[in-house]
Structure 1
Amino acid sequence: MTGVNDAIMCRGFCTTLDGQAQDWFRAMPVESIPTFAALAKKFMSHFAGNIQRWKQFANLCYLKQLKSETMAEYLSKWKKEAMGVTNFDESDLVRNEPKTYTELMDCVARYANAEAAEKRKKEEEEGRGWSDKAPQPQEDRRPSRSRRDRGPCLTPLRHLTPLTQPVSVILDHAEDMDIVSFPEECLKVNPKADPKKYCRFHRQRGHDTNECMVLKRQIEELIMRGYLGQYVKRTG
């Protein structure tokens, strides 16, 4: 349309209209459009109420999660509102870690997935309410002994979930998310243990972090609760 006269511009613009806009154009009096500029001015004036108003960044400060709203629902609402902000600036939103808006969204998405998994687990447990009335195992009713007397429970799980990364790498991530519980007491060191090996989970020498069954058990429990799903090895 560059360089053409007003008559062609007006006729070309007419072909792009539909619905109410087309009805408005057809209702205009004959020979009431002297120039394309005049047509544009009338059009903008008539449909001024339909113009999308961009929100300011400060509007996001009032966007709060409702009590009845899940993290996933709130995240969807946040993304929708953020798309309508005119001066969106990541530096105004994130002053500490995570360092970028993308990292923040990834972090929130992980928590949303964990929340959904926790909700599903709770619903499944409520559906199996009869199991809560089952008698407790005999060993649970025995007199309790101190943790130091009985030592740590190192019995390996019958089935450990296959992982894509060593447990030492997963430990770093779990620590950053503040979902790992470090043991309060040290293990009893076997005299034959290798002093060159160090477990960062127990913070003591004698065995390697990647060999630590207590850490593997806790990672398995976290996976069952819906965390660390990105480290689960998928079949195929």
Structure 2
Amino acid sequence: MNAPKVDKVKMPTIEPFAGTTNPDEHLAAYAAQMSVQTSCEATLCKYFPTTLKGQALLWFQKCVPKGSIHSYQNLERVFVSRFKHAASKKKTSVNLMAVTQGKTETLQNYIRRFNQEYLKIQNLPDETALTAFLVGLSSSDFKFKLIESGVSTLTEAMERAHKNIQAPEVCGTSRENNPPKKKRKHENEPSRSQPSKRSNLITNHGNDPRYNRNRRQIYLDIKEKNMLPRPPVVRTPEEKRDKRHWCEFNRECGHTT
């Protein structure tokens, strides 16, 4: 093959391939730099070894017979076949479905992790990506509204998600610019001329029979319900107590309930 003069083609500046990374990614990076300079296959083959290092360069120099490469496509096939073991396992929709939002994770961080995994999957149908995004969202008002709105593409869902992220920031700014009015002092205090609600609750029981009985009868009604604390110890000496009076609460004589 006849290649152009060296001074007309710039040496590629991509990261040299050592045989431990994805060969397809290396070929894509090489083609991106060289395609703007030349489409000559002989030139592509000639400069390709300059992008190799370590074991990959030794392989090319010692294991690829001279004259065995007849086209750049042929070189690509030989190169990928030799180093395909170094390529990372291909991601699928199953990997994307595994990305879920944590209980305390922000929507913004979930979207970042989702996109990182999404970009690793090739030829993924948009409806599959949208389903994975919705399934991964934690239960929230936003998820409910998103499904209720009937979004049909991942792009539309992402646009709504970003608006949802920005909304609190906008509202926060609005609240700062328009702080709520402070209540006047004593605004909530009851008027001196009117009885407080608390006093009404205590004294105004109407004709409710529950509040028209004496304390002893009330105690007898509730003593088995464990509603009262333990009674205090009676400190009056027994000889000084009035034996005619009996307290159901203290279970002692000397006073009434």
TM bucket (normalised to shorter chain) is 0.3 to 0.5
TM-score of the superposition, structure 2-length normalised? Answer: 0.37
Structure number with the bigger relative contact order (C-alpha 8 A, sep ≥ 6) is: 1
